[in-house]
Chain A
Amino acid sequence: MIGAFFEGITQSLLPCSWILLFTALMVGLTRPTARVMAAFAAASVLFTWLAVAGWVVVHLALSGLLMMGGGILWWCRGPSTISVALVGAGAASAWQPCVGPALGTVLNRAQIDPIGAVPGLAAFIVGVMLVGLAIGWGVAKILRDRAPELRRRSVGIASGLIGLSMLVGLYSDISSVLVSWSYKLWA
C-alpha cells in the first residue's frame, strides 16, 4: 500500500491523472477545512473504487452532471462538504488511469477481491491528491489569501465548465488541449 501511495505522488503529474490533480488543486486553492478535504478524498476514493470493482458504470455524462452540480454549489456557497464531494465523485468517475506497477497490483487484485483492493486504491488516490492540494495551497499562500471570493467563484466556474464539457462531449478535446499545452510547457 505504501508503494501505491508513493506511486500516486509520482503519477500525479502525468497527463492521465490530470482530472484528479486539477480538481485537488482547485480544492487546495480555496484552502478548505479538514472536514471538506476529507469529504473530497472520501468521495473520490469511493467512486473510483465502485468503478474499478465494476459495480457501478458511470457514464461520462453523469460524471459531468456531478461536476456541474458541485461547481454550481461551490460558486454559490463555497467549498462545502457536499460541493467538493460532488466534484471529487465526478472527477474520480471520469478518470481513465494509466497504470504503474503498484496500482497494477491493486487493480489486478480488485478483479478478484474488490474489498481487499480498497486500501491500495485509497492510498494511490490520496497520493495523487496530496500533490494537487499542496500546489493549490501553495498558490493560495503565494497570493497571500487575496481575493478569496474571486478564487471561490473561479473554482466553481472551472468545475462547472469541466462538467459541462463532459456533458456535451467536449471533454476529450479540452483534455487534449491541456495535455498539449503541458507538453509544450515542459519542452
Chain B
Amino acid sequence: MKMAGAIVFSIVLSACSAAPVDQANETLAPAPTPTTEVPVATLPDLGPPAELVEIDGWLQSDVTSLEELEGKVVVVWFWTFGCYNCKNTLPNLKELYAKHEGEEFEIVGIHAPEFDYEADVDNIVEAAGELGVTWPIVLDTQKRTFHRWQGPRAYWPRTYVLDRDGTVRYDHIGEGRYEELNEAVATLLG
C-alpha cells in the first residue's frame, strides 16, 4: 500500500513541478481563443482522407459518399451515441453547424458503435433525434471505416476537417480545443 501511495504521490508531485509548456498543453482549460483568423497556410496538409469502408449506408442525407461533398469544407466526426465524451462535443458542433448554415459547409457524423445496442439503426435514429444531431450520419456498424481512418487503436470522439479539395487539414482526438476547430473551419471557408 505504501508503494501505491508513493506512486500517486509522485504523480501529483511531478504534475506540480512540470514545465510550464507541458502544463499549458495538459490542463483541462480550453485552448485560448485566437483573436485573429488562422492563415490557411498554417493548417497542415494531412493528405487525402481514407475511404469509407463497408459502411451500412447514410442517414439524414441524400449524399452517399464524401467525394460528393468536394467543394465544401467538411467536418468528419467519429462518434457513437452512448459515448459521454462525444455528447460533450455536441454543443459546439451544433453551434458550428448553425453558424455556417447556407455556406459550403457540412458535418458528417460517422457512427461507429462500441456496444451492440449502439449498432441498432432504430436506436441510432432515436438517439440522433434526442441529441439534436441533424447532419448526415454514416453507419459504420462493423467499424471498418473507424479503423481505416484511425488505425488499430481508434478513439471516440475524433474530429477531422477536410478542405474544399477533400484534403485532411485538421485532426483532433477527444473533447476540447473547440476554438481551434472553429477557427480551422472558418479559415478554410475563407
A binding-site residues for B, Cβ under 8 Å: 1-5, 7, 11, 14-16, 34-35, 37-38, 41, 51-52, 54, 57-58, 96-109, 111, 116, 119-120, 122-123, 126, 130, 133, 172-173, 175-176, 179-180
Contact = CB atoms under 8 A, between A and B. Distances in A.
Contact of B83 (A16, A103, A109): A16
With most chain B CB atoms within 10 A of its CB, the pick from A3, A116, A122, A130 is A3
B15 A2 contact: yes
B115 to A, nearest CB: 4
B115 A172 contact: yes
Contacts of B173: 99, 104, 107-108, 111
A181 B117 CA distance: 12
Main secondary structure of the interface of B (DSSP, over half): mixed
Interface string B117-140: 100000000000000000000000
Nearest to B28: A3
B41 interface: no
B26 A3 contact: yes
A98 B115 contact: no
Given A1-B18, A4-B26, 19 more contacts: A1-B11, A2-B15, A2-B16, A11-B84, A16-B83, A34-B4, A37-B4, A41-B7, A54-B151, A54-B153, A96-B153, A98-B85, A98-B155, A98-B157, A99-B174, A101-B175, A105-B174, A107-B174, A172-B116
A173 B119 CA distance: 12
A122 B80 CA distance: 26
A170 B85 CA distance: 26
A109 B116 CA distance: 31
Interface string B79-100: 0001111101000000000000
B33 interface: no
Given A38-B7, A123-B11, A176-B117, A3 B157 contact: no
A180 B116 CA distance: 10
Nearest to B88: A100
A157 B143 CA distance: 30
20 contacts: A1-B11, A2-B16, A3-B27, A34-B3, A34-B4, A37-B1, A37-B4, A57-B152, A99-B156, A99-B157, A99-B158, A100-B175, A101-B176, A102-B26, A104-B175, A105-B174, A109-B25, A126-B7, A130-B8, A175-B114
Nearest to B157: A99
Contacts of B114: 15-16, 96, 98, 175
B12 interface: yes
A35 B3 CA distance: 7
Query: Which 7 residue pairs across A and B have the least CB separation, nearest first?
Result: A104-B174, A99-B174, A34-B3, A101-B176, A2-B15, A176-B116, A1-B15
A119 to B, nearest CB: 6
Given A14-B84, A38-B4, A98-B84, A108 B172 contact: yes
A126 B174 contact: no
A29 to B, nearest CB: 15
A111 to B, nearest CB: 8
Nearest to A41: B7
Contacts of B42: none
Contacts of A120: 26
A126 B12 CA distance: 11
A173 B153 CA distance: 20
